Amino acid sequence: MTQHLLSLWDFDKNELMAYIERAMILKYEAKDGSRHQTLTGKTIGMIFEKPSTRTRVSFESAMYGMGGQVIYLSGKDTQLSRNEPLKDMARVMSGYVDALVVRTFGQEIVDELAKYASIPVINALTDLYHPCQILSDIMTVLEHKKVPLADLHIAWVGDGNNMANTWIHAASRMGFELTLACPEGYEPEKTVLDEARLQAVKPITLTTDPREAVEEADIINCDVWASMGQEEEQVEREKIFQPYQVNSDLLSAAKDGALVLHCLPAHRGEEISDEVLEGEHCVAWDQAENKMHIHKAILEEHING
Ligand code: CP
Ligand code: NVA
């Protein structure tokens, strides 16, 4: 069976850790001059219906760096924009490339592509999940904290969006404590939370109070208040989310040595203050770099098996 990467929920702890451990090896060996040409002769197709800097460039760089090739297709470049059925696109692309990396709106779009493709489909962000991002974020946490994930308490402050949903999956599957502070009406997906809690070994707590979320946290995560596709809600969200800004005041309520994560792009002065983003607690730049190493590990695993 073709192995897709659509959601972290489809993997167990060992499988998720294997991506991270392989990415660390690839990263450290590359810094020592090794070139990992494990994808020579392979090609990926990248269908991106939303903008991207990091995910696009890091997947492309990962693929080229391992000897492979990339065909990038923006939303308007394919016949999908003229309503060609996804199941037809999936079967046609399966004859041309070795994997499809897809950034789009509904999760049902990647699910449908995966159902009909005979090649792996990798979710590079949907409205519901951003699985590849959370793997690079956890890799970054482990590099900095150097303790088992089970010993860490992770906080999410802000919108209950695709990133928050994916952190919930990760907490349940990988066994760490997670507290999310989201305004009323902006909670994570209820079915995701309910299902994850049923299988979690550590608490997954939802509050509306950002101070409560960060008090015991080793890691504080934030993300934009209006995700891609929610641009029309930006002004309204700016008002509602104001108390959820990750700034020096909120950080003073956290443990000493707490790390701040942001998947980027950041809106300074909204979800994060310039001072915190540029400060010593913030590891956003390491997260961004680690995306490339994680993408190498993902591509190797899913293309070479
Ligand atoms: N973090 C992230 O996915 O960034 P891009 O939207 O630039 O790909
Ligand atoms: N929640 C954000 C993540 C961007 C990487 C969005 O979907 O726009």
Instruction: Give the model confidence (pLDDT) of 47-81 as tens digits.
Output: 999 999 999 999 999 999 999 999 999 989 999 99
> d(Cα 203, Cα 226) in Å, to the nearest integer?
27
Pairing of strands 121-123, 99-103: parallel
2 domain-assigned: no
55: CA distance to ligand 1 center in Å? 5
**Average of per-residue pLDDT across 107-120:** 98
Task: Kindly state whether residues 101 and 239 are assigned to the same domain.
Answer: no
Task: Kindly state whether residues 154 and 273 are assigned to the same domain.
Answer: yes
264: CA distance to ligand 2 center in Å? 8
Task: Kindly state whether residues 68 and 166 are assigned to the same domain.
Answer: no
In sequence order, which ranges of the chain are alpha helices (DSSP H)? 13-31, 54-65, 86-94, 107-116, 131-145, 162-174, 190-199, 210-215, 234-240, 248-252, 274-277, 284-299
Tell me which residue range forms the domain holding 180: 133-287
Residue 113 and residue 102 in contact, taking contact as beta carbons nearer than 8 Å: yes
Task: Kindly state whether residues 279 and 168 are assigned to the same domain.
Answer: yes
189 domain-assigned: yes
Q: What is the mean pLDDT of the chain?
A: 97
> d(Cα 174, Cα 172) in Å, to the nearest integer?
6
57: CA distance to ligand 2 center in Å? 16
Q: Is the CB of 24 under 6 A from ligand 1?
A: no
User: Would you say residue 1 has pLDDT above 80?
Assistant: no
Q: Is the CB of 73 under 6 A from ligand 2?
A: no
| Mutual angle of helices 131-145 and 13-31, in 10-degree steps | 70
Q: Reading across the β-sheet that carries 153-157, which strands appear in turn?
A: 204-207, 177-181, 153-157, 219-222, 259-262
**Average of per-residue pLDDT across 106-116:** 98
> d(Cα 70, Cα 99) in Å, to the nearest integer?
10
Task: Kindly state whether residues 92 and 145 are assigned to the same domain.
Answer: no
Instruction: Give the model confidence (pLDDT) of 218-233 as tens digits.
Output: 999 999 999 999 999 9
